[in-house]
Structure 1
């Protein structure tokens, strides 16, 4: 066992949380996917479970590989990848692959896999902002200095995500503001960026009203918020059935595979899988999942606080908090604390690209944690890195 564990550097507790959530996910995914298998497939649920296993295996493999990379390499990489991300988001906006009435994906024909660029965009942008704050914070003297290097990347990424995915754009913008705040960005400049963001959103809404065919996602977001506030049961069809699932689960649940509401929830295997967890495993199962994400969040904060440098602190905090945000928003929607958003539950929901991006994000967090162990291997790698990359590339 010890010989195996030595290959998993970083925060061992975080590894345990990830593997526990990954293993647990097979139960609700197997149950929730049965509805889709019989309605839209050949009725073979096992094929969907195998697909989930492949996605999970690839995701954990990505997490392992990323965590073996020295985290300081991510700073220059973000600078190189950010323009490519903008291109992918633009392509998705113009001719994205449509799934569930939303064109948020790019389809890769060779392997027949859909990829959601906005998930990767969030990680790259937050990494870039961590680099920006680590390198330029002390030299910021006026707001004009922040426009090209700080404000423009946020505006481009969020602006390209917004037409197809309002909730993700809002989350990415909020996380960007948090990274800037934690990094010591002047508050008066942050208020200006926030004001410009609100103004940009208002301008986009006006354009949609003037040209209705421009985007149907604003109408969708508007309808979801209005129905959430009004409590209209007919408009909140999915949420009502999610609440029924949670109520039916009671304390101990109905048992694995015995969910009834999975037959009524169209996104039971992804957006509303937390409701299925509560129905089949009861309040105990729901609390277990909630506490796992709380524990994960605390480990991310601990890693961030103990990081070796400012870039490591902001990197771990930003991308790690992004995973926690997604989890708490998904659970909040299922229990009717938040409007429906379409955010999956990390490691639990069925899906490929979202799971892989989550694994990459936590792999980066583990890379920062790996630097805390200060093993001889890490010291040597760091020395090699310092010889090959100028220090001002990341700090």
Structure 2
């Protein structure tokens, strides 16, 4: 006879494959929110509670320790995954302390037309893109009071397309503001100087995030044995993205949290499915590295991006377990880049103490990806050791992020395929 059906009772315990992990942004610190949660795509996680204990030296006539007393409680651990588009954006926003800014495509015509100008006296000497009509009257073509972001400028006639750090818009949404001389690459591509209109059909688009000052904490849950192991008050303390030849691009998210509880009732109203964007790769998906506007002469071997909250911590008190609050610290950003040595370009920049933008870009097979940018980086500790025979020399540089005038250390731009 042919048997059908499955065997039951074969599992020694709960299985990792059927134990979903999800999260939500907390509206109140250390309180699991209701509403919709987001399921994660992960290769592993290690969130766990850490109880601080003390065993007092109580004097007694038996050779045994006194009772162990609870003195503190916190949560820490990591979520690990493979880089894919849209999967970890909330946690990237958490470590950067800001929200993603999405600026829809705005196209120039006669109304609005885009006038670019360097050192504009009407806007305190900033470079600007000013929107106007055919009578040269101002037009509110841009979002009002837009904050710092990265935008892509595409000039129709010259074919030039570039990504620029924008300081934001004026209160009326009539001009995009940039640091002085930031628009020089655009002027050069157009063959213009000082002041000019971009050709009709040129576009402005933004889809990026720059570090800011928002505080974000998350609730992370694991569903096990029909209940929810819930970790609350989780601050993203560090994110490290590793791009390396011969390996899949990985991301590790380190949390510092307040408390853990076992909950029998699902507080969520719904759980969104995990993202389905393709996993990125470092072969066809790696889009290159730019150091002060130029790619290294030799092939890139690896790039490690580290975003950390420096001097972060928790505030604790008596009368309850877990933390009373959290200190988010300040953003510290860095990149470590390895490439085959061919010339001393980066060593010369190090010697001169040069500062500027350093970026690494990667995308998935669907064309969606990210450009990770240190906005005002400086090279430290360049090295090119001769480690043995029959080998190509590899250069290693460390790039440390520094704030731009007015703020802004690190930015991530979403790469979206052309429609």
Q: TM-score range by the shorter chain?
A: under 0.3
TM-score of the pair, normalised by structure 1: 0.22
Rg larger in 1 or in 2?
2
TM-score of the pair, normalised by structure 2: 0.21
Structure with greater helix share of residues? 1
* Greater RCO (CA < 8 Å, at least 6 residues apart): 1
Structure with greater strand share of residues? 2
